[in-house]
Amino acid sequence: MPTPSFRDYLYAPDHPRVAKLRGLDARSYAEAAKDDSFAGPMIEGWKKLYPEPFLGVTNDGVVREGLFPLTEARPGEEAPTSEMVTAADKLLALLSSAQRELLIYAVDAHEWRSWANPEFMQHDTGLRLDELDVAVRDAALAVVEASLSAEGYALVRNLMRINGFLGDLVDLPLLMNEFSYNFALFGAPSGTKPWGWQLFGHHVALNCLVLGTRLVISPVFLGAEPDVIDVGPHQGVKVFKERIQWARELMESLPEALRDEAVIFEHMQDPSMPAGRLHAGDERHLAGCFQDNRVIPYEGIPVSSMPASALSLLEKIVGDSLAYLPAGPRAARIREIQDQYGETFFSWIGSWKGGEAFYFRIQSPVVILELDHHTGVFLDNEHPAPFHMHTVVRTPNGNDYGRALVNDFIG
């Protein structure tokens, strides 16, 4: 089956889906979205989840203790803490007192949980990049850059550029542009005490906590609609292509009986799905925004049952999913995940053949990795298509936002 082109699914300029939003910026749309037939119910649902005290995602409702001990990073696995502190101090030096007041929260503030991935701004946390002077905006992004790998920062910036490209495609540049993102700091930049930052907006959300030599970047939401830029100054940008190919190859490499067991639903919009399994915004992925305490049971097959060829492909997917981490913390995270292979599960929804859409999840006591192809939001495909995807990374059992480390530090 040939892979469809997003160009076949562009709304006409006068279609109500886009025409009614024309001229709205993030703040005006934040109000309008509450009454929108698509966004309104999502906002109401997430509004009920946000006030909950943080516990962490689990597979059975019980948070396991002792998975994330507060120890020094191993040699070669240290966080780039000094570079992060330097970048954050440069940002703070540029801010007015009013901007500082808006930007900075306590290191264990509830506002960590305010991030969301849609284009509508449900919570106005921190400072809005597209409202800042260029020097301040660039300084905020420099904090992000200092915290990520080079390839991770390049991916984040390309996803932000795709957001701007989409805004231009549908003539909604005030609502969706390269810098329509919120940025906040939590705690005071320090080489020894916990602090961090948050960046979130349409299809990009990262939560970064550093404590001495330890770095946690989780939850992470990275997505794109469409997945390529085919014209303009950033022509040639494309995202997630290798991860998607490796996932298809993994399914192909499984013995038929094992593959059948991994597939929990044959169709992306399967009539056998129980009520609530298909969410209006999240669709099939389970660990997105405001799902900090969700119980997500294991499904599919244990990775310990995979043949070596499939396990090798799974490890490529894991590595690519964590490529935003600097080399040292990435090595630590991969080791942490591999230590739990005895309780790691792989599940799949949809087809793995050709260019068809699919969903997969890798889940263990220490990680959840999801990739889900979606229907259109600003493109009009009514069925999931491979040019719109969401990816999610979570750290279950209480260490999203580095909270397990922070709690141990605070005592």
Distance of CA 337 to the CA centre of its chain: 18
Name the β-bridge partners of 163: none
The closest alpha carbon to 263, from 386, 346, 343, belongs to 346
What pLDDT score was predicted for residue 38?
A: 85
What pLDDT score was predicted for residue 3?
A: 72
What pLDDT score was predicted for residue 399?
A: 98
What pLDDT score was predicted for residue 1?
A: 56
Model's pTM, two decimal places? 0.97
Report whether 210 contacts 81 (CB < 8 A): yes
- Which ranges of the chain have pLDDT less than 70? 1-2
CB atoms within 10 A of CB 53: 8
How far is it, in rounded angstroms, from Cα 159 to Cα 254?
A: 32
Report whether 21 contacts 202 (CB < 8 A): no
Determine if residue 397 is left, alpha or beta; phi over 0 gives left, psi from -120 to 50 gives alpha, anything else beta: left
pLDDT digits (tens, 9 = 90+) for 324-378: 999 999 999 999 999 999 999 999 999 999 899 999 999 999 999 999 999 999 9
How far is it, in rounded angstroms, from Cα 32 to Cα 10?
A: 23
**In Å, what is the CA distance from 211 to each residue of 80, 81, 290, 385, 410?**
11, 8, 24, 40, 11
Tokens 């220490």 — which residue?
366
What pLDDT score was predicted for residue 185?
A: 98
Structure tokens at 268: 């992306």
Which stretch of DSSP H or E encloses residue 68?
Answer: none
How far is it, in rounded angstroms, from Cα 43 to Cα 347?
A: 28
Residues constituting the chain? 411
What pLDDT score was predicted for residue 4?
A: 80
Distance of CA 44 to the CA centre of its chain: 21
Looking only at the bridges linking them, the beta strands covering 214-224 and 301-302 are: unpaired
Q: What percent of the chain has pLDDT over 70?
A: 100
Helix-then-strand count for the chain, H and E: 12, 12
Amino acid at 305: S
Amino acid at 174: L
What pLDDT score was predicted for residue 36?
A: 86
What pLDDT score was predicted for residue 19?
A: 96
Return the CA Rg of the chain. Answer: 20
Report whether 83 contacts 149 (CB < 8 A): no
Which stretch of DSSP H or E encloses residue 333?
Answer: helix 327-338
Residues 6+ apart with CB under 8 A from 117: 200, 201, 202, 203, 204, 205, 221, 223, 288, 289, 390
